[in-house]
Amino acid sequence: MVRLLNLLSLVLLTLSLCTSVEADRCDGVLLLVSVPVPLDGMPAFIGDVAFAFDCLVILWVLVRHVLTNLRLENPLWGEKVEITSCLLPIFSMPLRLSTATLPAHRLILGISSGMGWMRFLQDSFKFSASLGPLVLMVIKMCTQDVVPFVAMWLCFFSMCFSSMWGIYHGMQSSTSVAELVTHLVRYTINPDTSYLNSISGDVHDDYRAFNGVIGMLECIWIMLSNVISLNVLIAMMNTTYSQVQKVQDAQWRVQFLEQVLFQEATPAIFVPPSKRFSILNRPAHHLPGKLSLPSPNGTTAEVDCHFMMMELSKGGGRAEQNKPKDEMAELEESLTAKLSALLDSKFEELSSKLDHKFEKSQTKRDEAIVHKLEVLGDKLLSA
């Protein structure tokens, strides 16, 4: 039901761009999920009715989100997209009453509609085992990969922009800031060699020799922004995709459980007459109980919870039950044999080294005794 109301609010928000304050008829758009249907010459009062009904729907969604998160003791900052997308149309309501402020009202509705689709994307796909992890993957790519990439790209951009801006001013060029920014952004997205030095055509003839410096800076910018930075971003996204894919099932289960807990904590007035998500409608093997949770300040608080009782089946036959034990026994025997062989080889190697050292020391000792006897014999003969 909530997903349908979210989708209905987005459809109504697109129709709300028409108003009878401006004219009796206007060209509206009916957005059927992702298919825009043009409504040429639509009566403008339909837009006013759609806006009024949309305000009621988003107010219902807003109150539901706030109350449920307060019951779960979740910070409202985590619902910033939902809260902002719902508050913008309500706050922009006075701007709809005058033709002078109508453009600002439509601008706010456009921003609210974009954030509303983000809200729909996050809330509606958490129940899907395939789309839920995909949304989480996109969010992680935006936060963990795109944000660091933009920070690094802005550093490179500031370096090249300041250098080129100073050189263009030194060459008495009339290049504007917007032209230079467009120049650098175009090289990042699609570097085109035919665009090289295209904005330096108005340079004074005495300074055209500096065009080579501009060309060198442009080549450096292409290497930094397009060749290096974009490939680094792609590599970072590949890493994030691999990490999320490894734990895809576990993350989806966490998302699903969060959604179920959110539905259970929703006040009864916002839930349709169904016991599907009722906290009282748990299975028989979910046993109620209490759990002691430590808090950061050192105290302990008891919270209500449910313990799941599980029964281990003994079916499947004796062979199936003993199969893991046999595999463990074989693995243990294999490891024992390998360890014994390794210890024997090391012991033999150590014994051979000790024997060699003993023989070497014995030979040196015999040589020393023979040398002493020879010296003693020489002394006796001389005497």
Q: What is the pLDDT of residues 44-92, one digit of tens each?
A: 888 888 888 988 888 888 888 888 888 888 887 777 878 888 888 888 8
- Looking at residue 368, its pLDDT comes to 75
Q: Using one digit for the tens of pLDDT, what is the confidence trace for 183-207?
A: 888 888 877 655 555 555 555 556 5
Radius of gyration of the chain (CA): 38
Average pLDDT estimate for 354-370:
74
Distance CA 325, CA 329 (A): 6
- pLDDT at residue 233 in the model: 87
pLDDT surpasses 80 at 19: yes
What are the start-end ranges of the H helices in the chain? 2-15, 45-71, 80-91, 102-124, 131-140, 147-170, 177-189, 211-222, 230-246, 248-265, 317-382
pLDDT score for 198? 55
Highest mean predicted confidence (pLDDT) among 76-80, 298-302, 303-307, 334-338: 334-338
What number is the average pLDDT over the span 316-341? 70
For the chain, give the mean pLDDT.
78
Q: Three-state DSSP class for 175?
A: coil
The structure tokens 């108005």 sit at 202
Is the pLDDT confidence value at 217 over 60? yes
First-to-last C-alpha distance (Å) of the chain: 123
pLDDT in tens, 106-157: 899 888 888 888 777 777 777 777 777 777 788 888 888 888 888 888 888 8
The helix (H) or strand (E) run that includes residue 32 is: strand 25-32
| Helix or strand holding residue 39 (H, E) | strand 35-43
Q: What is the pTM of this model?
A: 0.58
* Residue count of the chain: 383
- Residue 281 has a pLDDT of 64
Pairing of strands 25-32, 35-43: antiparallel
The predicted structure's pLDDT at residue 177: 84
Residue range 304-332: mean pLDDT, rounded: 64
92-106, 166-180, 321-335 — which one is most confidently predicted on average?
Answer: 92-106
Q: Which pLDDT value is given to residue 36?
A: 83
- pLDDT band at residue 285, thresholds of 50, 70 and 90? low
**pLDDT tens readout for residues 31-47:** 777 788 888 888 888 88
Q: Which secondary-structure segment (H or E) carries 287?
A: strand 286-294
Amino acid identity of 203? V
Residue 43 token pair: 């009566």
d(CA 164, CA 179): 12
Residue ranges covered by each domain of the chain? 2-124, 134-249
**pLDDT at position 190:** 76
Residue 2: what pLDDT? 67
DSSP 283: -
Instruction: Specify the 3-state DSSP secondary structure of 299.
Output: coil
Q: What is the pLDDT of residue 349?
A: 83
